[in-house]
Chains A and B, each alone.
Chain A
Amino acid sequence: DIQMTQSPSSLSASVGDRVTITCRASQSISGYLNWYQQKPGKAPSLLIYDVRSLESGVPSRFSGSGSGTDFTLTISSLQPEDFATYYCQQSYSTPSITFGQGTRLEIK
């Protein structure tokens, strides 16, 4: 099974900060990596698919990069509505998928 490890597990940042969240796969997953945002009480919402493709309606301050085993989600300038939990998910081994453990982004 492919294991996904996110870092950090939690992060405190201020509005306007540039933030990077990392996701590492236990083996190469090529370009098959998705990112989700989840706010309390809501379903995860797709932000980015296939490493860097922005879901419709997602602000351009979100971007993704990486390949192979190492991937990043970057928020260029944090907005108040961005404080949430973020998950990566590998789709390389679809129909079997795995998620990172999540990164909780909190207000400093």
Chain B
Amino acid sequence: QLQLQESGPGLVKPSETLSLTCTVSGGSISSSSYFWGWIRQPPGKGLEWIGTIYYRGRTYYNPSLKSRVTISVDTSKNQFSLKLSSVTAADTALYYCARLVQSGKPIWGQGTLVTVSS
């Protein structure tokens, strides 16, 4: 059964870069059928798509975050990663990684809380 697990620092200082990794187990990240994405949810607010990567490395970003986001994939480790630069308190959120597909079941990780604070 496919599982995704987010990992990374829970506390990031303002103006620094947030870095998270999603480890995929129970299946290959190199499947041609799926995309791999990041989603976030600020405390008490709704869900926001951050960006998506295909296993071959093509990326797709939310225009509102595009200038600060980099998503990469490491197929040898079955992982993909998120970097968000120049963070502010507004970037404090639960960050989720997910397997995305146009038709069929999306699968999400349990999420990790990242707080931006000095």
Contact = CB atoms under 8 A, between A and B. Distances in A.
The SS class assigned to the A binding surface is loop
Given A95-B54, A99-B48, A50 B37 contact: no
Interface in A14-55: 31-32, 34, 43-44, 46, 49-50, 55
A92 B102 CA distance: 6
Interface in A60-108: 87, 89, 91-92, 94-102
Given A94-B35, A96-B60, A97-B100, A43 B49 contact: no
Interface string B81-110: 000000000000010100011111111111
A79 B94 CA distance: 28
B106 A95 contact: no
Contacts of A97: 37, 49, 52, 100
Contact of B60 (A95, A99, A100): A95
Interface residues on A, range: 20 to 34
B65 interface: no
B47 interface: yes
B100 A50 contact: no
Contacts of A87: 46-47
B10 to A, nearest CB: 15
Contacts of A102: 46-47
A34 B37 CA distance: 16
Contacts of B54: 95
Interface of A: 1, 31-32, 34, 43-44, 46, 49-50, 55, 87, 89, 91-92, 94-102
16 contacts: A31-B103, A43-B94, A43-B111, A44-B47, A46-B107, A50-B104, A55-B105, A87-B47, A91-B102, A94-B35, A94-B102, A95-B53, A95-B54, A96-B60, A99-B47, A101-B46
Given A46-B108, A95-B54, 12 more contacts: A31-B103, A32-B102, A44-B47, A46-B106, A50-B104, A55-B105, A87-B46, A89-B47, A91-B106, A94-B35, A97-B37, A99-B48
